[in-house]
Structure 1
């Protein structure tokens, strides 16, 4: 989130005795991931300053839960949140932390954050606001990790220390008694949005450098305040980026660094991958390889088990709609605009223009018809080979024109292509970003006619 300036004093961390805990979650067999996020869209139509959840089997393709609607909403303070963070606690349960903010007018003097407890992310209990400090500054983007040397959780967040933006830390056993605030990371320039990943006994901190606008990864052997050394060159995709997330894949020695764009006008997630988190070898991932939930902003990601993923889908439900991502323009999705079918960059307004209910084909139940979510009863239909959004008039001709048959993707068999029901040698494709049905002969044609069904 955007940086602001206020005064914060530094205090010593509270001493603590070791605590007894159940088997750490790291000992479980993780095989999936959960994401927490809030939502913003360019024209505010899809803004939601509440807790949202998504799940993924591979950590890259995400399924929003509860129809991309909130699963919990703050009732105190600003009565809204930004920057939610999921922490797997030592006993296997979860804590949810979040910035106490609602909307796009930032409260600069807020010493509190939101906290929930959750056994399994299927319900949220013990909602409270907890105070982190007594000074006139903010408490933004809280994250947390377990500090074994203190037998406490470290809660790291963005604030102002009277000179510049730094990361502060409080140490807590229960997310109720938060201990005293102290400076966690101050490299001598303004920083924002810290996220710590513990791996092989070392502590890796990703942060945003406010001076150059890039993301960086640093390392400490102890995880103690002011012991981190930066490892990487600056990382950026898009025009601006913030909110880094460090994730280790449960499958092999793969690490991901996520970041989201600076503005809701360009609400896009970007990702890098590395096989060596201690090195300086992060490669940008092609957007074909990952899809974040619609309008999602400043997320966090935590590994979960396959049983937990399935239980979350059962509890909250998978979407009753899909999106179609373009193969050769993976930042664009099929949408309707002025009743014309086309592919446009994400984000777009209104976001529902890109959501489709995949109905059994109107002319052949083995096929598929694409019904608009925000204009129910209207379908993608070809007329003179151009594809438009048209209200179903109940005729046989309409049913045939609005029915397509899915095949393996012409440019990538793991994706999808769609033939016209009544013109089976023609495929749904984009040309000049506008949808139509055409014969396919060249590699460029095949790429134009390939889509990914996603959420």
Structure 2
């Protein structure tokens, strides 16, 4: 079971929000992306088993919606979900499928999936559960695809059958009634967490091999049960990986995301390729992607500009930011014991990395960083060391806590922060502690460069 699937101006988005949904024929050229997921963190302070959404305009860097709170939560079964999967149906609307499991009781037998419908991702209606089989086992990590030869959708999921985890499939026209289950993929060893994408005449299935812990890709010219042949080598980053998430990007390239095993590890790793048929994937640098805060085992779909604008308008963007390090991209600016630090994500309390980026306390043209979990406390320098202190409203404090945001010293697409009252010094990390220092070397420029993200 998984423990964990072009920029617009504000004016463009506002205009798009008032448009009608694009017809299916126009959706081939998606303008943005949406991710669905649930959340966990190392000590489970961030655990929430409802449906979470995030959006992205490049498919790499994600912005949570609804303040990273769920947009809908199951009201039947276990009252929680894992592994949500969003599918655009043939009529252009959406269906959401999810594992019926609230928490981490992986020994629970459950034959059902949660299901919702959505017209445009601004509401989720028609909630129901559908029974997929009668086996004394689980129904985990659903994925779905359109089988044109049958004129039906296939719902594929993990279940134990014959003593090991394999993939079963049920076919449906309406996601309300389903056919009897069939074995879909049984390579002779345990498999988990399938994701399926149909591209032209080929159906691709990516999965986790439970024998060796690696991700693999299989393909079929028909998409029919028991017709898939594995064609890639094993893929893994970090110490463990699962929940492959396969996406054909807007530029025609492909991305593969893998969820780390368990909430204590980095949440996602990524690969890319220009040709999925070649079976060769390049590891992505973590500088180049930022998953949603605490996100686990999600799914990604392409969406239109109208759908992007509608989702943002309905659910709202975060009232907080995070600062990601340029040269240690798995680490984020946080406070711990009132000391400013750079620590590897994830960690708890996860709120320690969340900041309200407000007008500078000493100069409104600058910025100050107010702690989300300690309101009224701000990052400030004292003897050039960064710490979190309660605002005492003195001129000295306001000056110490004010910075000018500039183009990143190591990457102009990122940001650096120059001290207001020590104007030759910038916010940087040194031995993972935050300081304000003069910057001259290439390493120091990297230390002083951050991505402002959510």
Q: TM over 0.5: same fold?
A: yes
CA contact (8 A) 2:241 2:261 kept: yes
In the alignment, what sits opposite 2:303?
304
Q: Matches of 2:449 and 2:32 in 1, distance apart?
A: 27
In the alignment, what sits opposite 2:169?
169
Q: Matches of 1:72 and 1:47 in 2, distance apart?
A: 15
Task: Check 1:185–1:194 CA distance in 2 against 1; reply closer, same or farther (3 A cut).
Answer: same
CA contact (8 A) 1:40 1:267 kept: no
Q: Structure 1 residue 415 and structure 2 residue 414: aligned?
A: yes
1:112-151 matches, cutoff 5 A: 112-151=112-151
Name segments (4+ residues, structure 1) moved above 3 Å: 22-29
CA contact (8 A) 2:49 2:80 kept: yes
Aligned length: 436
Q: Matches of 1:58 and 1:26 in 2, distance apart?
A: 19
In the alignment, what sits opposite 1:262?
261
Q: Matches of 1:309 and 1:201 in 2, distance apart?
A: 29
Deviation at 1:200, TM superposition (A): 1.9
Deviation at 1:111, TM superposition (A): 0.5
In the alignment, what sits opposite 2:196?
196
Task: List per-residue Cα deviations over 1:45-74 (Å, max 9, x = no partner).
Answer: 110000000000010010100000000000
RMSD over equivalenced CA pairs, Å: 1.2
Deviation at 1:247, TM superposition (A): 0.2
Q: Matches of 1:26 and 1:112 in 2, distance apart?
A: 34
In the alignment, what sits opposite 1:6?
none
Task: List per-residue Cα deviations over 1:237-264 (Å, max 9, x = no partner).
Answer: 010010001001112x210000111111
Deviation at 1:29, TM superposition (A): 3.2
Task: Check 1:25–1:55 CA distance in 2 against 1; reply closer, same or farther (3 A cut).
Answer: farther
In the alignment, what sits opposite 1:10?
none
Task: Check 1:195–1:58 CA distance in 2 against 1; reply closer, same or farther (3 A cut).
Answer: same
CA contact (8 A) 1:37 1:51 kept: yes
CA contact (8 A) 1:52 1:71 kept: yes
Task: List per-residue Cα deviations over 1:314-350 (Å, max 9, x = no partner).
Answer: 0000000000000000000000000000110000111
In the alignment, what sits opposite 2:7?
none
Q: Matches of 1:425 and 1:211 in 2, distance apart?
A: 56
Q: Matches of 1:356 and 1:314 in 2, distance apart?
A: 22
Q: Structure 1 residue 349 and structure 2 residue 348: aligned?
A: yes
Q: Matches of 2:25 and 2:351 in 1, distance apart?
A: 37
Deviation at 1:28, TM superposition (A): 4.3
In the alignment, what sits opposite 1:183?
183
CA contact (8 A) 2:323 2:453 kept: yes
Secondary structure of residue in 2 paired with 1:419:
strand
Q: Matches of 1:380 and 1:425 in 2, distance apart?
A: 18
In the alignment, what sits opposite 1:54?
54
CA contact (8 A) 1:41 1:267 kept: no
In the alignment, what sits opposite 1:272?
271
Deviation at 1:266, TM superposition (A): 1.2
Q: Matches of 2:421 and 2:245 in 1, distance apart?
A: 47
In the alignment, what sits opposite 2:18?
none
Secondary structure of residue in 2 paired with 1:67:
helix
Deviation at 1:265, TM superposition (A): 1.2
Q: Matches of 1:75 and 1:242 in 2, distance apart?
A: 28
Q: Matches of 1:380 and 1:189 in 2, distance apart?
A: 52
Deviation at 1:2, TM superposition (A): 5.2
Could you state the TM-score of these two structures normalised by the residue count of structure 1? 0.94
Secondary structure of residue in 2 paired with 1:308:
helix
Deviation at 1:307, TM superposition (A): 1.4
Could you state the TM-score of these two structures normalised by the residue count of structure 2? 0.94
In the alignment, what sits opposite 1:360?
359
CA contact (8 A) 1:323 1:355 kept: yes
Q: Matches of 2:233 and 2:357 in 1, distance apart?
A: 44
CA contact (8 A) 2:2 2:83 kept: no
Deviation at 1:24, TM superposition (A): 3.9
In the alignment, what sits opposite 2:34?
34
CA contact (8 A) 1:368 1:406 kept: yes
Q: Matches of 1:425 and 1:199 in 2, distance apart?
A: 54
